[in-house]
Amino acid sequence: MEIPAEDIAPMARAVELAGHGHGTTSPNPVVGCVILDSAGQVAGEGFHAYAGGPHAEIVALAQAGERAKGGTAYVTLEPCDHTGRTGPCSLALLDAGVARVVVGVPDPTPKAAGGAARLRAHGVEVTSGVLAEQAERVNEEWLTCARLGRPHVTWKFAATLDGRSAAEDGTSQWITSPEARADVHRLRAAADAIVAGIGTVLADDPLLTARPAGQAAEGRAPLRVVVDPDGRTPPSARVLDGQAPTLVAVADDVRTGIEADLLRAPHHATDPQLAPDRESDPPRGDVDLIRVPRRGAGLDLEVLLRELAARGVVSVFLEGGPTLAGSFVGQGLVDRVVAYVAPALLGSGRAALGGAGVRTIGESHRLTFDEISEIGPDIRLIARPNPQPGREK
């Protein structure tokens, strides 16, 4: 589709505004909106700042006031057409007298979709697909969850230049620089859940929190998830310390060794499509236990992710050791890889990635680099998996 030149700058600004909502809107999407008046001048701007708060269109319309009449609204995600904690944005745009609406990405959820159709039915000109790739990228976590019924997964690892995540004696602190570690905490704070395996919990006793705590949105701490098939998480583990809510995932055929008084009743999802609900809040306690079917030596991670989605988790930040990472990669459940590579060599020791279902070079998991940047003395690489025929869910 050929994009009118005059639409590029305002939609690009709407995408930029949407990005301001990262880490604070879940389980809602990030959305940006720009309103131009009938003369083509910016009359209002807005973004969705937090779940339950006004949507981007409402913020921009309030700023635009009477100037919105006869103007154009640029919205990164199709205006919603349902009533939750806020009213339909489609009706708000109609009431304001907007003459044209430009959309980046259609809303994929049956509950909220239909805004474009309602606007067209009332004589508003609607153009869709403008800067769609950029609008998709800024909202990729929520769109992944809405479309697939599971959270978007970012796998993060730190390694030496020769791909080692720990030395031969098991030591790994610190492969990367303080600058890289600070960047990791920034990414952690923006996620809904931080996931690690029992091996990491037993070996390193990590907190799995975003530090300093102020990096996370006020009153919000990412859910800590321990993948523990055989229920070996010790009651003394720091991940159970109450600094943030914690979920321990065990196999459904074992008894956990975690003391019962640390746990509240297990929560089981009844509808895996609850995750895209743009108006619900995730129910979270201090420590919870969930039972998941086994898959091989581990757990069925897709079932685990759907259970997390039902709890309002839209984005997962995967950390920990190579075994769990290999399982996520092997099951096709990694949507983005963030690698911190230090200018150091070990020659032996633990690899960053364990078995990922690859037997021959033709089965390798191919990715495309999105970003290569310097973080202190280290390099940060961001890549996303390429579509791989035969591996689609």
pLDDT value at residue 195: 96
Whether residues 156 and 271 fall in one domain: yes
* The 125-128 sheet, strands edge to edge: 42-47, 32-36, 72-77, 100-105, 125-128
Whether residues 56 and 161 fall in one domain: no
Of 109, 138, 167, the last residue of a domain is 138
pLDDT value at residue 64: 96
**Mean of per-residue pLDDT scores for the chain:** 85
Of 138, 159, 188, the last residue of a domain is 138
Long-range contacts for 20-24 (Cβ within 8 Å, ≥24 apart)? 20/47, 20/49, 21/47, 21/48, 21/49, 21/50, 22/190, 23/189, 23/190, 23/191, 23/216, 23/217, 23/220, 24/49, 24/50, 24/51, 24/217, 24/220
User: Does pLDDT of 213 surpass 60?
Assistant: no
User: Does pLDDT of 267 surpass 70?
Assistant: no
Half-sphere exposure of residue 213, counting CA atoms within 13 Å on the CB side? 7
Is 176 a domain residue? Answer: yes
- CATH number for position 90: 3.40.140.10
Q: How far is CA 135 from the centre of its chain?
A: 15
Lowest mean pLDDT among 59-68, 187-196, 270-279, 333-342: 270-279
pLDDT value at residue 393: 44
pLDDT value at residue 279: 41
Percent of the chain with pLDDT over 70: 87
List all residues 6 or more positions away from 84 whose beta carbon is below 8 Å from its beta carbon: 278, 279
Site of tokens 């009213």: 87
Tokens in use for 12? 């690009």
Is 391 a domain residue? Answer: no
Is 32 a domain residue? Answer: yes
User: Does pLDDT of 271 surpass 50?
Assistant: no
pLDDT value at residue 381: 96
DSSP-derived pairing of the beta strands 287-292 and 193-197:
unpaired
Number of domains in the chain: 2
> What average pLDDT score do residues 123-148 get?
95
pLDDT value at residue 266: 36
Active site residues: 57
Instruction: Look up the domain containing 304 and give its range.
Output: 149-385
Whether residues 119 and 22 fall in one domain: yes
Whether residues 176 and 289 fall in one domain: yes
Is 102 a domain residue? Answer: yes
pLDDT value at residue 163: 85
Whether residues 127 and 82 fall in one domain: yes
pLDDT value at residue 110: 82
List all residues 6 or more positions away from 82 whose beta carbon is below 8 Å from its beta carbon: 88, 111, 112, 114
pLDDT value at residue 165: 86
pLDDT value at residue 204: 85
Whether residues 206 and 57 fall in one domain: no
Rounded CA separation 240/221 (Å): 14
pLDDT value at residue 66: 96
pLDDT value at residue 1: 62
> What average pLDDT score do residues 379-385 get?
95
Of 84, 107, 138, the last residue of a domain is 138
Percent of the chain with pLDDT over 90: 57
pLDDT value at residue 247: 94
Closest CA to 111 of 78, 137, 73, 76: 78
pLDDT value at residue 286: 84
pLDDT value at residue 218: 53
- Please state whether the peptide bond connecting residue 229 to the residue before it is cis, i.e. omega within 30 degrees of 0: no
Whether residues 175 and 52 fall in one domain: no
Residue bearing the bigger pLDDT, 85 or 238? 238
Is 163 a domain residue? Answer: yes
pLDDT value at residue 166: 82
List all residues 6 or more positions away from 44 whose beta carbon is below 8 Å from its beta carbon: 33, 34, 35, 59, 60, 61, 62, 63, 64, 65, 67, 68
Q: What is the pLDDT of residues 6-18, one digit of tens each?
A: 899 999 999 999 9
pLDDT value at residue 388: 59
Is 104 a domain residue? Answer: yes
Is 380 a domain residue? Answer: yes
Whether residues 209 and 77 fall in one domain: no
